Amino acid sequence: MNTYYNSMNKEIKEYFEILEPNFPEWLNEYIETKELLSQQYISVTCGTIYSDLFESNFFFSSLDHSIAVALIVWHFTHDKKQTLSGLFHDIATPVFKHCIDFLNGDYMKQESTENLTTDIIKNSKEIMESLKRDKIDIAEVDNYHLYPIADNDTPKLSADRLEYSLSNALFTYKMLNLETIKDIYNDIEIQKNEEDELELGFKTKKIARDFVRITSKLSIIYREDRTRYSMQFLADILKRLSNENKISQKDLYTLKESEVINIIENSDYSKLFNIWKNAKKVKISKEEPKNVYYVHHGVKVRYIDPLFKGKRMSKCCKIANKLIEKNLNYDMNNYVYLDLNFD
């Protein structure tokens, strides 16, 4: 069988082999389901990959991310239930990913689509048959928040947070290479945190500090002016198309991103979309700009303060603490705009 894993991009496969050198073959049966395979057409960049405002053109999919999270969980736990919870955690991801949270007004938490996870798994005949065969109850795999190695609260380090940090630094923003990824990953182990909870942590202070440096840069990228603008802009286009019955809620979960872009480019918003698509830089203002579409609100702050030998880096490393403080002080009060208007 020509599985998704076997046919994937060589660079991604090399990255996956770092996360888990011995790929768990039993995962393939779950990956090769309609519900998970649909995630291969969604970019983890929340639509930003489609604009020249951003430097990346590497397509790392929501499915790639989910498989990678599962590999990290498997690597550290060898527990099928926890691994499947990692694999399924983004099964309810719609096109443009967290842009749909912006569409739903949930730009501060970005969790508005997660409540569909259980229904999508429950309605998949293939997944449910495999779970039944493996004697696993849906309640044991439909909520990765149950397992602190898979997911935990910010600013702790979990498989999910570790994965999107590594893959974004490697593929999207070219901050790291595979060798450095390997050095970081091989320094991680399961530790106990200040709440006596299991958590991924570092054995070497310098590697932990370098990780804080990289993730602090990424944290700002996730919420900087160009990102907030782009995600809200895409959300507002989708909202207008929805109001005009040109696109449905269901379409956001069943169409490929390329198909949704095709709808946009054949709509009344194609000119606006192309201005954003070809823009090189957003404009900012401390005052409300007139006669243009602008974005003026904060977003969820994603950052990591990892463990080093069971203690937070911010508590045991002055440099790491300064990096985190600088990150958290990033100003999101600007009005952000381009020379375009919906009216």
In terms of Cβ atoms closer than 10 Å to its own Cβ (0-12, 13-18, 19+), residue 30 is buried
Domain count within the chain: 1
Nearest 5°: the CA angle 143, 146, 150 is: 85
Q: Is residue 328 part of a domain?
A: no
For residue range 245-294, what is the model confidence (pLDDT) as tens digits? Answer: 999 989 999 999 999 999 999 999 999 999 999 999 999 999 999 999 99
pLDDT, mean of residues 95-119: 73
Q: Which percentage of the chain shows pLDDT scores above 90?
A: 88
Q: Which residues contact 61 (CB under 8 A, 6 or more apart)?
A: 39, 40, 41, 42, 43, 44
Number of residues in the chain: 343
- pTM for the full predicted model: 0.95
* 312 inside domain: no
Per-residue pLDDT band for 300 (boundaries 50, 70, 90) equals: confident
Is residue 78 in a domain? no
Tell me the three state secondary structure of residue 200: strand
pLDDT in tens, 38-49: 999 999 999 999
Distance CA 283, CA 233 (A): 14
What digits encode the pLDDT tens for the residues 149-166?
Answer: 999 999 999 999 999 999
Q: What's the pLDDT score for residue 107?
A: 46
Q: Collapse the DSSP code of 122 into the 3-class scheme (helix H, G, I; strand E, B; otherwise coil) and give the result.
A: helix
Is the CB of residue 88 less than 8 Å from the CB of residue 123?
no
Q: Residue 79: pLDDT above 50? A: yes
- 331: pLDDT strictly greater than 80: yes
- Which residue type is seen at 242? S
Give me the pLDDT at residue 180, please: 98
pLDDT at 108 over 60: no
What pLDDT does 314 receive? Answer: 98
Confidence of residue 343 (pLDDT cuts 50, 70, 90): confident
- ω into residue 155 within 30 of 0, thus cis? yes
pLDDT at position 102 = 67
* Average pLDDT score over residue span 117-124: 96
pLDDT tens digits, 93-104: 999 988 877 677
Cβ neighbours around 268 below 10 Å, total? 13
The predicted model gives 68-96 an average pLDDT of: 97
Is there a domain that residue 103 lies in?
no
d(C-alpha 192, C-alpha 173), whole Å: 31
Instruction: Answer whether residue 106 shows pLDDT above 70.
Output: no
Give yes or no for a contact between 183 and 207, defined as CB atoms under 8 angstroms apart. Answer: yes
Mean local confidence (pLDDT), 196-217: 98
In a domain, 72, yes or no: no
Residue 80 CB: number of other CB atoms within 10 A? Answer: 19
Coil, strand, or helix at residue 96?
coil
Whether residue 101 lies inside any domain: the answer is no
207 part of a folded domain:
no
Side-chain half-sphere exposure of 77, counting CA atoms within 13 A = 23
Tokens in use for 288?
Answer: 């409300």
Please report the pLDDT score of residue 148 as a whole number: 97
Tell me if 14 is assigned to some domain. Answer: no
Measure the CA–CA gap between 303 and 201, rounded to whole angstroms: 15
Q: Give the mean pLDDT of the chain.
A: 94
Statement: residue 113 has pLDDT above 90: no
Spatial strand order of the sheet with 335-337 comes to: 283-285, 335-337, 294-295
In this structure, are residues 219 and 285 in contact, taking their beta carbons and an 8 Å threshold? no
Q: CB under 8 Å to 49, separation ≥6 — which residues?
A: 43, 56, 57, 58, 59, 172
Domain that holds residue 231: 226-300
Please tell me the distance from the alpha carbon of residue 339 to that of residue 272, in angstroms, as a whole number.
Answer: 9
Check the CA dihedral 112-115-119-121 and report its sign. Answer: positive
Give the pLDDT band (50/70/90) at residue 56: confident
313 Cβ contact partners less than 8 Å away, ≥ 6 residues apart: 202, 208, 209, 212, 305, 306, 307, 320, 321, 324
Query: Is residue 192 scored above 50 in pLDDT?
Result: yes
